[in-house]
């Protein structure tokens, strides 16, 4: 099946309020261009070198999202063009994104990554730590980032009840932040759901899904 048809099929299952990020890691520029030609404009990458290499060869109206673990010393490479960094997992990283965005005279949209899975290999703030960032106004100091939402990854498991529980927990945190009155009007996105669990995520309040395999097929590692 062609990428265009896969995109049509996938988008037909999405409510109007859910944004699709096409996760294109390890796929060549030609494949991304095919998805672009089929109407996709938002692409997610998880390796700095890969996104830096692809960026010059693709249309300038693509909205690039960084969705992988980001080291502070790599932020400077993507700061000039990145639209959204979904994987802010520490204040140290947020501070560096703010610093590099200021150097580029840009505003970079960010999501705080929350650790909701049982796997210790996953990154992110815990829920209490994240809520306190808002309640104690610790994010107000960062003038060149816009904290626009939360991101999380569920445990890699076939147990759909566990996945649902983890997504529910993140949605409760998202709602608590909204209700605190401490978040800006830009705080609107809950980025949960990938190829295997996006329908569960949508049922639990997702506004943005990060899907690769259902669009591009299996990757060659």
- Report the b/e string of 207-221 with b at 16+ CB within 10 A: bbbbbbebbbeeeee
Note the pLDDT of residue 121. Answer: 67
Note the pLDDT of residue 118. Answer: 82
**Each residue's pLDDT tens digit in the chain (221 positions)?**
699 999 999 999 999 999 999 999 999 999 999 999 999 999 999 999 999 999 999 999 999 999 999 999 999 999 999 999 999 999 999 999 999 999 999 999 999 999 998 876 667 999 999 999 999 999 999 999 999 999 999 999 999 999 999 999 999 999 999 999 999 999 999 999 999 999 999 999 999 999 999 999 876 54
Side-chain-facing half-sphere of 57: CA atoms under 13 Å? 12
Q: How far apart are the first and last CA of the chain?
A: 21
Side-chain-facing half-sphere of 5: CA atoms under 13 Å? 3
d(CA 121, CA 143): 31
Q: What residue ranges define each of the domains in the chain, with the CATH number in brackets?
A: 3-216 (3.20.20.10)
Taking a C-beta distance cutoff of 8 angstroms, is the pair 96, 72 a contact? yes
47 φψ region: left (φ > 0), alpha (ψ -120 to 50), beta (else):
beta
Note the pLDDT of residue 123. Answer: 79
Note the pLDDT of residue 127. Answer: 95
Note the pLDDT of residue 141. Answer: 92
* Residues 6 or more apart whose Cβ sits within 8 Å of residue 94: 88, 110, 139, 142, 145
Q: pTM (2 decimals)?
A: 0.96
* Residues 6 or more apart whose Cβ sits within 8 Å of residue 95: 142
């Amino acid at each position: 099946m062609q990428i265009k048809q896969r995109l049509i099929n996938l988008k037909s299952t999405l409510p109007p309020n859910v944004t699709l990020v096409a996760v294109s890691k390890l796929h060549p520029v030609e494949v991304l261009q095919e998805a672009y030609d089929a109407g996709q404009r938002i692409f997610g990458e998880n390796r700095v070198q890969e996104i830096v290499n692809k960026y010059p060869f693709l249309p300038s109206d693509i909205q690039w999202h960084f969705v992988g673990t980001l080291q502070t010393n790599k932020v400077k490479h993507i700061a000039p063009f990145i639209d959204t960094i979904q994987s802010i997992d520490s204040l140290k990283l947020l501070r560096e994104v703010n610093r590099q965005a200021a150097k580029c005279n840009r505003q970079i949209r960010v999501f705080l990554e929350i650790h909701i899975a049982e796997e210790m290999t996953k990154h992110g703030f815990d829920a209490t730590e994240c809520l306190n960032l808002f309640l104690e106004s610790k994010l107000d100091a960062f003038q060149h980032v816009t904290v626009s939402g939360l991101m999380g990854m569920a445990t890699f498991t076939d147990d759909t009840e566990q996945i649902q529980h983890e997504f529910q927990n993140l949605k409760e945190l998202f709602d608590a932040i909204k209700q605190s009155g401490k978040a800006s009007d830009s705080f609107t996105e809950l980025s949960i759901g990938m190829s295997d669990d996006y329908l569960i995520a949508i049922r639990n309040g997702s506004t943005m899904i990060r899907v690769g395999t259902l669009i591009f097929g299996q990757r060659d590692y």
